[in-house]
Amino acid sequence: MKNLNIIWVLVMACILSVSPILGQSKAKKNKIIADCETAKAEFIQNDGLMKSIFESAYAYVIFPNVGKGGLGVGAAAGNGAVYQNGKVIGMAKLSQLSIGFQAGGQAYREVIFFESKKELERFKDSRFEFAAQASAVAVTEGASANVKYADGVMVFTMQKGGLMYEASIGGQKFRFNKL
């Protein structure tokens, strides 16, 4: 039964990764934006220093609900909103594939901060992706104190639930759609 649940999570993640963001209804976009606002508040609640990062970043994208599952081969997917000057400028889609030792499923949040227009434009052109060596900082109290931009971006994640054992490689790809 447990393997069936893992397979179900994997199938759902794959389906989510290929569903186009263009087809989202206004209600779904509004729900994603509301979830982004909740996620932002929780990032700041868990690490108060992140408030200044949100305020000083050129732009950022929040993925409030990323689902990830794997059994040998893994996948993750999530929808989010892109902000510039505190206002939503578009919607985004995250998809991830990985291979290696992995089993389980988890849900997490992710926020990517852009240091300048150059990185934001690369993201908006859907030419932005993370390779296997990219790293994200898990949000805990004070975790953001010494974090610096690497190649113009800073990434934070926050665990929401689930359990996943993983020693794998993969990468994340993103797609942007203007509002």
CB atoms within 10 A of CB 53: 19
Question: Side-chain half-sphere of 57: how many Cα atoms within 13 Å?
Answer: 26
Q: Quick one: how many helices (H) and strands (E) in the chain?
A: 4, 5
pLDDT digits (tens, 9 = 90+) for 121-153: 999 998 887 754 455 667 777 677 778 888 899
Higher-scoring residue by pLDDT: 67, 41: 41
The domain segmentation of the chain, as residue ranges, is 2-178
The mean per-residue pLDDT over the stretch 112-127 comes to 93
pLDDT computed for residue 96 by the predictor: 87
pTM beyond 0.85: no
The mean per-residue pLDDT over the stretch 106-131 comes to 89
Q: 119: which residues sit within 8 A by CB, 6+ positions away?
A: 58, 128, 151, 152, 153
Q: 44: which residues sit within 8 A by CB, 6+ positions away?
A: 50, 51, 54
Q: Environment class of residue 15 by beta-carbon count within 10 Å: exposed (0-12), middle (13-18) or buried (19+)?
A: exposed
Token pair belonging to 135: 């790293």
52, 43 Cβ separation under 8 angstroms: no
Backbone angles phi, psi at 33, to 5 degrees: -65, -40
pLDDT computed for residue 111 by the predictor: 94
* Residue 140 DSSP class: -
109, 42 Cβ separation under 8 angstroms: yes
pLDDT computed for residue 68 by the predictor: 87
Q: How many residues does the chain have?
A: 179
pLDDT computed for residue 18 by the predictor: 46
